[in-house]
Structure formats: structure tokens, C-alpha cells
A and B are shown apart, each in its own frame.
Chain A
Amino acid sequence: MIPAPNAFQSGVSVRSVSKSFGQTRVLSEVSLEVGPREFLTLLGPSGCGKSTLLRIIAGLDHADEGSIALGNQAVDGLLPRERDVAMVFQSYALYPYMTVAENIGLPLLMRRTRSWQRLPLIRRLHPVARAAAGTITRDVRRAAEALQIEAFLDRKPGQLSGGQRQRVALARAMVRNPRVFLMDEPLSNLDAKLRVAARAEIAELHRRSGVACIYVTHDQVEAMTMSDRVALMMGGEVLQVAPPAEIYDRPAELRVAEFIGSPKINILPSTVRSDGGVDVPGGVLAIRSGLPANTAVSVGVRPEHCDVADGGIRGTVRHRENLGSDLFVHVETVGEHRIIARAAPEIIDSVPPGATVSLRPRPDRALLFDRAGRRL
């Protein structure tokens, strides 16, 4: 976080990494390129292999196949400590018997002193060891100030709140200017309000550090708000790597479209008509698909691209969710397909449960997927 102008900066390359635990294939052929100053989020449901990938990058676990490079250096044979990466764990993993200052200072102590200089008496008396201790105290204080935890330096982690512990974990990672930050769901143990504040703060700290960051989360809001790019993982594969807006507007496949966006995108099983439009349950969409007639496709329409307006798909209101800023209307069309449409909260009285309404998806925003789930 203390930007050193000559600090060695590098990105991360993950090249066709595969990993199995016993019979279970956890990662298959994962490849990723992370730029030198980029904030890349690994987004995916829990159990999809995000933490495993992070551990492999850090050297804490070994890939069965594939290789990892930091900058231009292949690091496959290197121990975790030789890779110069810093990691923030979901559980924070603070050393419970050390004070906050000792927790933050430990990575510096291990790097700036030799083992004999850490022996009890020498630590106090040897000039080199004492000089190192001085620089460590100074850097620990600076890191603590950046994260506003300097008041807790003498406490043990057990005496801190969740938010404070999370800051200590961040300080410990940032204090030593690593080549790359790895963060494994660092906000998932915080309450909702703290999480929003911490999101902005981590993004800000990352910008100042100027170091690549791989941030793991299963929370799409974190991914959308913090990242330069998002890598969407599922079942041990990377499905798409793209900036947040692109992954939202132009998902590469159906699974991506369904994972991103809340409420979930509406998927309508449809058929291409001979006039170029598409038959959807309960109506017709004027899309120029360019596909041959009778091709089976899935049409994806996000709730905000589906207006409650006359002359569209007819259906019955089943449920309403008023968030104050938005109103989500759940509508059932023929064949018991549910479509969620976003509307202005003011119209809530005109769409009571049981009422018949008409929905008009915007054809220009509709997404078409083939039967294999690829976007057309």
C-alpha cells in the first residue's frame, strides 16, 4: 500500500491448470491472465474451485497439470514464501497468541532478519537485528494507520470485532508490498453494512498499491462493483472473463447469464418463426435472429428489460416485490412459465395478484442462446 516506485510489479498467468482430489475433478484446464495492476474477481457458486485455484497460485497446493507464472517467472517449483504473494483468508487466519502488531509485523520479521537474529537475546542486542526491528515497527505503524487500526496494535485478535480483524488481515497482507494480492472471500464474515463500506475501501487500497489482485467471491455485487474484470467460474471451469458490464450485457453462455443479475434473468424456451421473429410462451418477440425457421432457442430477458405494457405476452400476476426503488412483478404465462418484470413502484396498485397483465420484453435487449447454452 505504500507505493514504492521501483517495486517489482507483475501480473499472474494461470495456464491450463487442472486439479483433482481423489476422483473429484475440482479444476479443469483453467487459464487466466491477470494484468500487472488489475483487480480480477473470481466469481462463482461455492464449491466451484475458487479457493483451490487461489491456493495453487499461492503455492499452498499443487496443480496436477498446468503452470503458474508471476510476471515473467514460472513459479511452479517455488515455495509459498518464495513466491512473494500475500493472501487474505476468509477466516482471517490471524495468529491468536500474537498481538495485532506482531501479526502485521511477522511477514516483515521473517523477511528482514535471519533466523539467528530472531533468537531472544540477540534480537535485543545485535545492531542489525535492532535496526530491522526499528524498520518493522515503523512499517507496521504505517500499515495500521492506513487501515485505521493503530489503536488496537497491542490487542490480541480475540479482543477485536469481526470488522477490525478483517482490517488486521488486510494490513498483514499489504504491509510488505507483495507481487500480488490474493483475497479469499474476505468480506463474507462481515455484516451487510460493513461489507458495503469495506468493498469501496478494498478497491481503493488496491488502486493505491498498484499491484495485481485476485479477489474470490460468490457475491455478484462484490464482483460487479469492485473489479476491472470478472472471471466467472462454475464446476471447475472458467466460463467467461470480461469486464463487469460486458459479462452482464453479453454473457457468453446461458449459465453465465443465469448466475449474474438479481432477480435472475428470465429464460423462455422459444422457437424461431419463419418471418424472423421468435415464438415465446404467450406471445411473439420481434427479434431478427437470422436463424432458420423452427430452430429451438432460449430467449433471455432481464427483468429491467421487460416492461409492463399492453400488447405483449399475457399472463397472471402471482407475486409482487416492492423494494422502494423498484417493483418486481412475478407473472405466470402459458405453460406455467414465470417471468419477472421490473416496473415503477407507482404502478403497484394496477397489478394486484391474480390480475391479468401484459409484458413487453425489449427485443433489442433480448439474448438468444442455442440448445447447448451458447449465446447466438
Chain B
Amino acid sequence: MIATRHLPFAVFRHVVLAAGAVVMLAPFIWLLSLAVKPADEIFTTDLRLLPLKWDAERNFTEAFNKVPLHRYLLNGVIVTAAIFTMQVLVALPAAYALAKLRFGLAKPLFALVLLGLLIPGHVPAIPHYIMLSHAGLLNSYPALVLPSIISVFGIFWIRQFFRTVPDDLIHAARLDGLSEFSIVWRIMLPAAMPALVAFGILSVVFHWNDYFWPLLVVTSPDMAMPALGTVYLRNTEAGTDYGPLMAGTAIITAPLVIAFLFAQRRFIEGMTLTGLKG
């Protein structure tokens, strides 16, 4: 009964959402479509989703042949994993201290974190570049990882989550003999799991897709991150071959899309911050 009464609204809602989805998905669908078309079909004037002649195999092999795609993917995995691990190692204790410990500098330090949130990531790029250059670390994994290990957003995000953990839980842990560090890893980390997963997805997506920073510090193709790698696909010799470029882009996007589909529920859980229950 309720369903029928609200039917017009339900239809309207779905139409709007579907239209939004189409707008968002169109470039990806087009990308997939181009990735399976032969070169001469790409620039025809008629709009066709499926190719007349499937050329997926050539496009994908070409993509792997022209540039070391697997190397970019490997770099992407290593660098994003290293960044996220280090971010957690820094953010968790910091967030715990800011959320639960009472000390004189707690307020000013938290104000600094908030201030950090306001500074665009590109602002410290040049100082970072100069420091890495002096350290002789350009064009290496550390160059890709080090500038990102302190995430003020991560500290802020997890700190907000830690505020919802009852003080009594921490008191119980202190009486049970846990040190402050054990409390962070044994008590707070499991409690913060949903927030960490959400933060992890944001962090990995951002650094996997980051084009700006790798472009600055990477000089040899075998250090390239996925997003930068696709550019090498484009720049190769005589003109751009769009089929392989789109195939390569599809491969580089795929891991994230698949990971998101698997972690979708946890992601939304973390984003809505349902907090601790029970």
C-alpha cells in the first residue's frame, strides 16, 4: 500500500538516479568500447557501442608490449601499500593522543591538524622535491612514498572515530596492564576498523591515480605509477594509438573498481561512521 502511494515519487527518484549514473558511467563505458575496437572504427562518425570487428586481443597485447604495464601495476601496489601502512603507523597513535589523552598541547596540536587540512597537497610539493633531491632520493620508491606518510586527514578522521570509543574501555585496558601503545594496537585499532577501511580506500585510490607527484619525481619509466604509465602509452613514437591506450587505461583502472566492489559495504559503513555498538 505504501509502495503504491509513493509510486510516482519512486519512479522519479529512480529516473534521476539512473540519469546521474549514466552521466558518471558514460566515459568508462566509452573507454571500454574503444578498448575493444580496431583503429579504423574509433574515428568513424556513427556512435556505436559494440565494434563491428572485435579487436580486443590486439589492443590489450599492444598495451602490454608498448610499455611495461605490469611494472606500473606492481609499482602502484608497492607504493600505495607502503603509503597506507605508514599513514596508519603515524595516524593511529596521533589520533589516539589527540582524542583520548589529556595534555597541555592537545588543543594547539589539534588546531595544527585542522590547519593542515586546509593546505592543498600541492603547496608543499616544491619543498618536498628539494628535500628529496638533496637526499639523493629522486626517482625512487622513497620519493614516491615519504611525502605522503603523514596524512592530516587520516589523523583527523580517525581521531573523530576514537572520540566515540568509551573512556571506560581505555581505563579497563590500563588496569589490565596495557601500555599506551598496546592500547592503540590492541584496543583502538580493532575498534577503528571501519574508519580505517574507508580511509584506506581513499588513500589507495588517491595515490594509485595520482599523476602530479610521480610526474615530478619519476624520471625513468620503470618507476612510474599507473596513472603516469598510461601517459607513456600515449607518447610513444608516431601519433597515439587509441585502442591500446584505452586498453591500458582499462587495465589500470580495473584493480580499483574491483577492490571497491568488494569493499563497498565496509566503505559505506566507515563513511557513515556508525560508531561502536555493543
Contact = CB atoms under 8 A, between A and B. Distances in A.
B13 interface: no
Nearest to A169: B172
A102 to B, nearest CB: 10
Nearest to A58: B175
Contacts of A60: 171, 174-175
Nearest to B171: A60
Interface stretch (B130-138, B176-184, B257-265): B176-184
A110 interface: yes
A111 B175 CA distance: 11
B168 interface: yes
B183 to A, nearest CB: 11
Contacts of B278: 96, 157-158
A81 interface: yes
Contacts of A97: 190-191
A93 interface: yes
Contacts of A107: 175-177
Interface in A13-29: none
Interface stretch (A83-91, A238-246, A350-358): A83-91
Interface residues of B, number: 19
B146 interface: no
Contacts of A158: 277-278
Nearest to B277: A158
B177 A93 contact: no
Interface of A: 55, 58-60, 79-81, 85-87, 89-91, 93-97, 106-107, 110-111, 115, 157-158, 172
B169 interface: yes
B197 interface: no
A95 B169 contact: yes
Contacts of B277: 158
B166 interface: yes
Interface string B164-206: 0010110111111111001000010011000000000000000
Nearest to A90: B168
Contacts of A96: 190-191, 276, 278
A333 B174 CA distance: 57
Interface of B: 166, 168-169, 171-179, 182, 187, 190-191, 276-278
A321 to B, nearest CB: 38
Nearest to B189: A97
A80 B173 CA distance: 10
A107 B179 CA distance: 12
Contacts of A55: 171
Task: Return the 7 tightest CB-CB contacts between A and B, nearest first.
Answer: A110-B177, A158-B278, A97-B190, A93-B168, A93-B172, A107-B176, A81-B177
A201 to B, nearest CB: 21
B168 A81 contact: no
23 contacts: A55-B171, A60-B174, A60-B175, A80-B175, A81-B174, A81-B175, A81-B178, A85-B175, A86-B175, A87-B172, A87-B175, A89-B171, A91-B166, A93-B171, A94-B172, A95-B173, A96-B191, A96-B276, A106-B176, A106-B177, A107-B175, A107-B177, A111-B177
A80 B172 CA distance: 10
